[in-house]
Amino acid sequence: MDTGDILSNLEFSEDTPVRAMLLQKQHYAILRIALGKSTKIMPHEDAHPVFFLILKGKGIFTCGEKEIELGPNQYIHIEKDEKRGIQALEDLVLFAIKE
């Protein structure tokens, strides 16, 4: 059994996303990612699918050639090898679940 507080030890950086591994298993990993306002993860392709669940804040998410604004309690799933990126419109906290 694993337990924890999702928002404990939460830190923001103005320059780079702050990642915290919450759980890593053989076939998946769950990370908490915190981005300070205006912080970006530049669009890129990755070899794994990812599911983002927004816990706090708002951001613009790139998925392929589309951009979508998401806020708390919203999610997006991006397939492997599909371009992805994030721009925080305000302090942003999200779960990333990846294979």
Q: Which domains does the chain show, CATH number per domain? A: 18-98 (2.60.120.10)
pLDDT of 63 strictly over 90: yes
**What sign for the dihedral angle of Cα 44, 47, 51, 54?**
negative
**Whether the Cβ atoms of residue 53 and residue 98 lie closer than 8 Å to each other:** no
pLDDT of 7 strictly over 90: no
Residues in the chain: 99
pLDDT at 45: 92
pLDDT of 79 strictly over 90: yes
Q: Residue range 27-51: average pLDDT?
A: 95
Residues 6+ apart with CB under 8 A from 75: 51, 52, 53, 54
Please tell me the distance from the alpha carbon of residue 11 to that of residue 1, in angstroms, as a whole number.
25
At 4, is the pLDDT very low, low, confident or very high (cuts 50, 70, 90)?
A: confident
Q: Residue range 42-68: average pLDDT?
A: 96
Structure tokens at 62: 């790139």
Say what the pTM is: 0.91
Residues 6+ apart with CB under 8 A from 90: 37, 57, 58
